[in-house]
Amino acid sequence: MTHYPPIISAFVTMMLTLLLTLNKNGMIQDIPNERSLHTEPIPRVGGIAIMAGILSGWILLFHFWEWWIVLPVLGLFMLSLVDDVRNLSAKIRLLGHFVAAVIVVAGAGVQWLWLLPILLFIVWMTNLFNFMDGADGLAAGMALFGFSFYGVAGLMHGNEAFAMMNFTIGAAALGFLYHNFYPARVFMGDAGSIPLGFLAAAFGVWGWQQGYWPFWFPVLVFSPFVIDASATLLKRTRRREKLTEAHRDHYYQRLIRMGWGHRNTAVAEYMLMLAAGGSALWGIGLDAQEQGNLLAWWGAVYLGLATWVDRRWRQHEVMKKSAAEI
């Protein structure tokens, strides 16, 4: 098995991202608003380079493709690219996400008892990656670490082709991260975040179906995104806010707004990603009770982190209000 796909993927993504951003005036721009964490217009064409990089690497792995992953991810890429340009309605986007999820469920041969949970898991992962793509280097870092851990797990079970496909995705994220880490010169846009979220779910289901890992493994590997996005959604639902509206209530957004900045927040998130993914790999070899203990431990960790950020945020808002009244 050749080891060139990840190298090709990283190189193509890095160079194409550079080329796409040379003429900023002709590119799709992310215009800052009151809910943004950036202050200047930034091109959001990175998704084109990421997908080109992934496909360039995957060409050498053509015989190992699964149609029920490749076809829907290409469809989601095209749909999301149109959305970047024309701002499609939430209903159209969500319909496309569900269609892609149905294709995966059918292609992977998921048992009927798991159909609905897996369907919802794929749709949620597809969207939450997009929700979490709001800070320099964050989504690209999650893709780099998350798919790399998938790849290592594939190698542990002797499937080098499966591993290389995941490493290729991670390498594309690395090539993009070169331009996206603080201060970001380009964003990936929906054309990048939506396919990456879908692939995180699709490969997670594929590995689970192949017996490479238990069902909780993909969730723990991507838990820095899953927990933040899910907790924020629950809080906004409880407050009866419009869920399709942009906001700045994610935990990573609050860290940045409290003064951590993009760089420190990204580095802290990277450390969390490494810890979560590393422990997930270690947990594959544990018995059921030990795996349960591992998940309970991580639940306590995330509860503690969320409580700490919430408390600091309330203090920050009180101090901000007091300063405004002086």
52 contact partners, CB below 8 Å, separation of at least 6? 12, 13, 16
Kindly report the backbone phi and psi dihedral angles of residue 89, in degrees, each rounded to the nearest multiple of 5, phi listed first: -70, 155
pLDDT of residue 99: 98
Which CA distances in Å does 250 have to 132, 147, 177, 234? 8, 23, 21, 11
Q: Residues of 287-317 as b/e, b for ≥16 C-beta within 10 angstroms?
A: eeeebeebbeebeebbeebbeebeeebeeee
CA separation for the pair 198, 218 (Å, rounded): 12
Please tell me the predicted confidence (pLDDT) of residue 25: 65
Q: How does DSSP classify residue 303?
A: H
List the domain boundaries for the chain.
4-325
> Tokens at residue 59, please?
């060409």
Nearest 5°: the CA angle 211, 217, 218 is 105
Query: What is the per-residue pLDDT for 34?
Result: 60
3-state helix, strand, coil in the chain (%, to 5): 75, 0, 20
Distance, in Å, from the CA atom of 99 to the CA atom of 95, rounded to the nearest integer, reads 6
pLDDT of residue 289: 98
Residue 100 CA to its chain's centroid (Å): 17
- pLDDT value at position 59? 94
Amino acid letter for position 89: S
Cis peptide before 117 (omega within 30 of 0): no
| Separation of alpha carbons 219 and 148, rounded Å | 14
User: Is 249 annotated among the ligand-binding residues?
Assistant: no
293: Cβ contacts below 8 Å, ≥ 6 apart: none
Tokens 């794929």 map to which residue? 122
* Cα 21 → chain centroid: 22
- Annotated binding-site residue? 190: yes
Q: Tell me the pLDDT of the chain (326 aa) as tens digits.
A: 578 999 999 999 999 999 988 876 666 776 766 666 776 788 888 999 999 999 999 999 988 889 999 999 999 999 999 999 998 999 999 999 999 999 999 999 999 999 999 999 999 999 999 999 999 999 999 999 999 999 999 999 999 999 999 999 999 999 999 999 999 999 999 999 999 999 999 999 999 999 999 999 999 999 999 999 999 999 998 988 877 777 788 999 999 999 999 999 999 999 999 999 999 999 999 999 999 999 999 999 999 999 999 999 999 888 887 776 66
Q: Express each pLDDT in 11-53 by its tens digit.
A: 999 999 999 888 766 667 767 666 667 767 888 889 999 999 9
What was the pLDDT predicted at 21? 85
**pLDDT at position 282:** 98
Query: How far apart are the C-alpha atoms of 147 and 176, rounded to whole Å?
Result: 14
How far is CA 150 from each of CA 50, 259, 278, rounded to the nearest angstrom?
Answer: 18, 33, 11
How many CB atoms sit inside 10 A of residue 84's CB? Answer: 22
Q: Assign 314 to helix, strand or coil.
A: helix
Contacts of residue 196, Cβ cutoff 8 Å, sequence gap at least 6:
50, 129, 139, 143, 169, 173, 188
Reduce the DSSP state of residue 287 to 3 states and report it: coil
What is the spatial distance between Cα 182 and Cα 152, in angstroms, rounded to a whole number? 28
Reported as a single tens digit per residue, the pLDDT across 69-94 is 999 999 999 999 999 999 899 999 99
Q: How far apart are the first and last CA of the chain?
A: 67
The pLDDT assigned to 155 comes to 97
Cα–Cα distance, 322 to 326 (Å, whole number): 7
Which residue's entry shows tokens 């989504």?
A: 139
Please give the single-letter amino acid code of residue 269: E
